Structure 1
């Protein structure tokens, strides 16, 4: 009987960690983006309205109710 050689183990590529210096700008960008989104969904068309009219209110109306913000 012929012996068959066991297949060689496949080396997995090393996982290199991402440095905090590389992640920080993206974290700040998405943090500011989320704050702006939260403002438009939660506070726009109130006493601190940046954009006049009812356009923004109508676009985010259902989102306000979904997130629990009262709007009327």
Structure 2
């Protein structure tokens, strides 16, 4: 009988590339939403006051100082 050969280890990534892309996209969208709600102060909503008022109410709801 021949001696058994040792098994080769295979490196498996901890996170799949697709999951990483989805997670980075979600973090980016959440950061954009946090900016709009907490710090925008109307800079993005140049076309009308609806978005500004919606974010203003969101700041009050979250307790972020806005004025």
Report the TM range for the smaller structure's normalisation: 0.5 to 0.7
* CA contact 2:38–2:59 (8 Å) conserved in 1: yes
Ranges in structure 1 where 5+ consecutive residues have no aligned partner: 1-18
TM normalised by structure 2 equals 0.61
Q: CA deviation at 1:59?
A: 1.3
Report the number of matched residues: 52
* 4+ aligned runs moved over 6 Å, structure 1: none
Bigger radius of gyration:
1
Ranges in structure 2 where 5+ consecutive residues have no aligned partner: 1-13
Higher relative contact order (CA closer than 8 Å, sequence separation 6+):
2
Distance 1:25 1:64 in 2: 29
Distance 1:54 1:37 in 2: 17
